[in-house]
A and B are shown apart, each in its own frame.
Chain A
Amino acid sequence: MTTLDQKPSRAEGRKDPWSQLLEKVGKNQDRQAYHALFEHFAPQIKYYAMANGMSSHAEELVQEVFVSIWRRSCLYDWRKAAASTWIFTIARNQRIDMLRKMQRTSAEMQVETEDLWQIPGENEDEPVTSLHRLMSERRVRESLRHLPEEQTTVIAKVYMEHKSHQMVADELQIPLGTVKSRVRLALNKLKVILQDQNV
């Protein structure tokens, strides 16, 4: 955190309020900050659990996610991800982990959930990508406002209901190609697609 300490005013300006709270939890085990994060994110996570068919385990998922947030908060670095993105990945990983544990014994869990789903390099110092990471969330939030509803509907089903592109096509009764082109159009506008091949 040396950069942060050296240039507090400039650095603070780029930090959103949730990232500031999460940092307080990580640095000082600040329970007030933790509670504020809970008030804001717990209802989102509960909806997330219910949308993907885990209604009977929704409260359990909220608990797992928040215990994990507490435990991992000391690793949080606001320069690498906004708090909401960081918390989304924890919710996603905890959901996968819960489903895996329901389906198999621990002896069968040779590879841990995080081995598969955590982006490598999280704990490394990558100043170049970190700026990119911070920018990306703002850009995504901004561009999402301008997407046509038919595109956001498809994206919501993929992220919130965990439906594959094929399942979305079946549900909306449109061809798979249409789903894919809607997603591609959206990702293009969100600048996620730079070039798909031979970059």
Chain B
Amino acid sequence: MTRHHPDSLMLMEYSAGNLSEPHALCIRLHLDKCGHCRSRVDSLESLGAVMMEQQSQVAVEASTFDSILARIDSEPAPETVTPRVHRSPLSKLLGDDLDGLPWKRQLKDVSVLDITDRFPGQQDRVVLQKLCAGGKAPAHTHRGEETTVVLQGAFSDNKGVFNQWDFVMLGQEDEHKPVALEGEDCITLSVLSAPLKLTGTFGRLLNPFMR
């Protein structure tokens, strides 16, 4: 049961299809385990449908429907389409063994893996972080907005305990000192919004646990 949720504004941007892919991934992973947020997104999608209905309409070309019929006639009948086998986007992206990834150790308790290049054509920085069981990250603040979802284990800071699939948003004003809970390494996925004017700062290695 998740207890920390994305806020409604972010879910709205998700339901409108406006988020970058890494941000959408964070939301999607949370939705997978959170019925509460799924029903919020349902309502927001209904809002999208009603907005679409209430806008102007533009006549389509006369031949369009025939082109569509021609396409569906050349394709298999719909009953042959079966629901997809559910496989988490996370395992598609990273495989099923998070611990076995090529982690780079940065500090005694902290390892990171930059996966930004898995999301071509966008500007956010995407980083996996691992804080070993019971491990402590040094106190730090954040530059810009950071969106995090807990993939494994749990950590705590001054705002509470964050368990698997909990959602965390941190801004510039937030200083925290995360500590992983005992028993399991804590792995998180963090998306760092690219500050539009500060592209130069991305030259150096950023560690969202550390900044």
Task: Give the B-binding residues of A (Cβ under 8 A).
Answer: 26, 29, 31, 35, 38, 42-48, 50-51, 58-59, 62-63, 66-67, 70-75, 81-82, 84-85, 87-89, 91-93, 95-96, 103-104, 108, 110-112, 114-117, 119-121, 123, 126, 129, 132-133, 136-137, 139-141, 144, 155-156, 158-160, 162-165, 180, 183-184, 187, 190-194, 196-199
Contacts and interface: CB of A to CB of B under 8 A. Distances in A.
Interface in B57-101: 57-61, 64-65, 67-69, 71-72, 75, 77-79, 81, 83-84, 86, 89, 92-93
14 contacts: A29-B78, A42-B60, A46-B58, A47-B52, A47-B56, A48-B55, A74-B78, A89-B48, A116-B28, A120-B86, A155-B47, A162-B16, A165-B9, A190-B47
A140 to B, nearest CB: 5
Contacts of A43: 57-60
Contacts of B65: 35, 38, 42
Interface residues of B, number: 66
A136 B43 contact: yes
A142 to B, nearest CB: 10
A112 B40 CA distance: 23
A67 B71 contact: yes
A71 B61 CA distance: 22
A88 B41 CA distance: 13
A162 B49 contact: no
B92 to A, nearest CB: 6
A115 B92 contact: yes
A120 B38 contact: yes
Given A120-B32, A158-B13, A58 B58 contact: yes
A72 B81 contact: yes
Contact of B55 (A47, A115, A117): A47
Most buried by B among A58, A74, A82, A139: A74
B42 A119 contact: yes
A109 B64 CA distance: 29
Given A70-B72, A120-B86, A129-B35, A59 B50 contact: no
Contacts of A140: 43, 46-47, 50
B4 interface: yes
A contact face: mostly helix, strand, loop, or mixed = helix
B137 interface: no
Contacts of A121: 38
Q: Sort A-B residue pairs by CB-CB distance and give the 10 closest, nearest first.
A: A43-B57, A88-B49, A115-B89, A137-B46, A84-B49, A136-B43, A123-B83, A46-B58, A92-B17, A85-B49
A31 B77 CA distance: 13
Contacts of A91: 52
Nearest to B17: A92
A42 B57 CA distance: 9
A37 to B, nearest CB: 11
Given A35-B65, A59-B60, A119-B38, 10 more contacts: A46-B57, A70-B78, A112-B92, A126-B35, A136-B46, A183-B12, A187-B12, A194-B36, A199-B5, A199-B36
